[in-house]
Amino acid sequence: MHAYDFVATNSVDRALKLANPDSAFLAGGTTLVDLMKLDVMTPRHVIDINGLDLCGITANHNGLRIGAMARMSDVANHSEVANRYPMLTQALLLSASGQIRNMASVGGNLLQRTRCDYFRDVRTPCNKREPGSGCPAQTGENRNHAILGTSTACVATHPSDLAVALVALGASVRLRGREGVRQVPLDQFYRLPGDTPHLENQLRPGELITEVLVPALSWARRSTYLKIRDRSSYEFALTSVAVALDLRDGTVHNARIAVGGVGARPWRLPAVEDALRQHRPTADHVQAAAARAAEGARPLAHNGFKVTLMQRTITRAVLNLAGRR
C-alpha cells in the first residue's frame, strides 16, 4: 500500500469536485482497501463518501429505489424487498459474510472487482490491471473463470451476486457527475472485456452511482436466487442463477433469468426465457430450455464443467420455483 491523502465529505457536489483521475471513492471499503493492500489499486487520493446522504430504501408502485450507500445488510433485511423481490434478498444473503454485508454498500457491490487470482497478484501479468501485459488465465488456472462474454484479453468473471439479480429484474443505475445526472440500464452499464478489459463499465471518471432503480414486477414475488459453490458459504459463485417465473395455470407465462459466475458480466439469458414461455415447466422441457444457456460459451481447460453446471443450476432453480422436481 502506497501513501495517499484522505478526505471525507458529506456533500455529493464536493465529492464530485474532489474527484480526479488519481482518486478513488471510499464507501464500505471491502473492495478498495483490500485491493490497496495488495497494490492492485493505488489511488493517490481517497475520498470518503460514507457521509453522503444516499442511504434510503423506498418501495412503492413504481418499484424499488435503493440509495447507493445503503449497506448490503440494510437491503437484505428490508421486508418489502423480501416480499416483492425474494431473489434480491437471497442474492444478498448468499454473498460474502455478515460482517462484510454490514460494511459493503450497494453501489460498491456493483463496482467490485473480479476475484481472478491473477488480477489480485501484482507479480503476474493482467490486462485488466495493467493493459497490454497479458492474461495468464487463458492457459493457466481458470477453473473459476468465465465461459460467456470473454475475450482473448480477459476471461474474468464479474463477482457480484446482487448484480445478477438486478440484471434479471431489469434494474438501472442513476449516475451523477459534474456534467449532471443520467440513468443507465444495468445490463448496459457493464462492458464486455473485448481488448479493453480495464474498462469495466460506463462510469465516467469522477462519476458516482447515487441510486439503484428496480422496476415494479408483480410476478417477481415468485423468484429465487440459487448459488452453487464448492463450500456452503463465504465463497464466490461457481455458477448462480436469478429466476423469476410468471406461472399461470401451470404454464410459464413469462420468465426472467440471469446467471452469475459464468459471465464477464452479469448474464441475462433471453433465449432461455423464450424457450420457457408458454410451456409447462416439466423436467424435460426445463432442461431443454436451460441447454440454450450454453450458446456462445467458450470454455477453457479447467472450467468446461461450468457449461453443464450452469444448465443444471438453471434447471434446479426453475423446477424448484415451479414447485416441481
Partner 1 sequence: MTATDRVDGRPKVTGAAAYAADRHPAGLAYGYLITSTIARGTVTGMDTTAAASAPGVLAVYTPFNSLGLFTYNREQNDEVHAPLRDANVRYYGQAIGFVVAETFEQARDAATLVAVSYDAQPSKTSFVDNLGGATPPPSGAPTVDVLAPEFATIDAALAASEVVVTATYLTPCNDHVAMEPHATVAAWQGDNLTVHTVSQGVRLVQERLSSTLGIDQSRIHVINPHVGGGFGNKWGMWAQMPLAAAAARVLGRPVKAALTREQVFTIVGHRPATSQTVSLGARRDGTLIAVKHDGVSSKSASNGFTESVASTSLSTYATPNLHIGRAVVTLDVPVTTIMRAPGESNGAFAQESALDELADQLGVDPLEIRRRNYATVKPDNKLPWSSKHLDECYDLGAARFGWSRRNPVPGSVTDGDWLVGMGMATCTYSASRSSASIKVRLLADGTAVVAGTGADLGTGQSTVFAILAAEVLGIPVRRVSPDIGDSTAPTAANAGGSGSTSTNGPAVQLAAAAARDALLRFAVEHERSPFHGMTDVRYENGDLKAGGLTMSFGTLLSTADVPAVEATATSPRNENRTVAYRSFGAHFCEVRVNRWTAEARVSRWLTVVDAGRIVNEKTSRSQIVGGVIMGIGHALLEDARMEPTGRFANANMASYLVPVNADIPPIDVHFLDYPDSTLSSLGARGIGELAIVGAASAIAGAIHNATGKRIRELPITLDKLLT
Positions that interact with partner 1 (CB under 8 A): 1-3, 39, 115, 117, 120-124, 140-141, 143-144, 228-236, 238-239, 305, 308-309, 312-313, 315-316, 320, 325
86, 214 Cβ separation under 8 angstroms: no
Beta carbon of residue 97, minimum distance to partner 1 (angstroms, whole number): 9
Closest residue by Cα to residue 208 from 4, 5, 13, 10: 13
Contact between residue 128 and residue 145 where contact means Cβ atoms under 8 Å apart = no
Residues 300 and 302: their CA atoms lie apart, in Å, by: 6
Parallel, antiparallel or unpaired: strands 5-8 and 45-48 = parallel
Rounded least distance, CB 228 to partner 1, Å: 5
Tell me how far apart the alpha carbons of residues 146 and 307 are, in angstroms, rounded to a whole number.
10
Nearer to partner 1, 102 or 196 (CB): 102
Question: Residue 138 or residue 172: which is nearer to partner 1 going by CB?
Answer: 138
Whole-number Å distance between alpha carbons of 89 and 260: 16
Taking the complex as a whole, the smallest distance from the CB of residue 48 to partner 1 amounts, in Å, to 18
Least Cβ distance, residue 303 to partner 1 (angstroms): 9
By beta-carbon proximity to partner 1, the closer residue of 121 and 184 is 121
Closest contact distance (angstroms) between CB of 221 and partner 1 is 23
Rounded Cα–Cα distance for residues 21 and 43 (Å) = 9
Q: Work out the angle between the directed axes of helices 283-291 and 305-321 (0-180°, nearest 10).
A: 140
Nearest Cα to Cα of residue 240 among 91, 81, 84, 108: 91
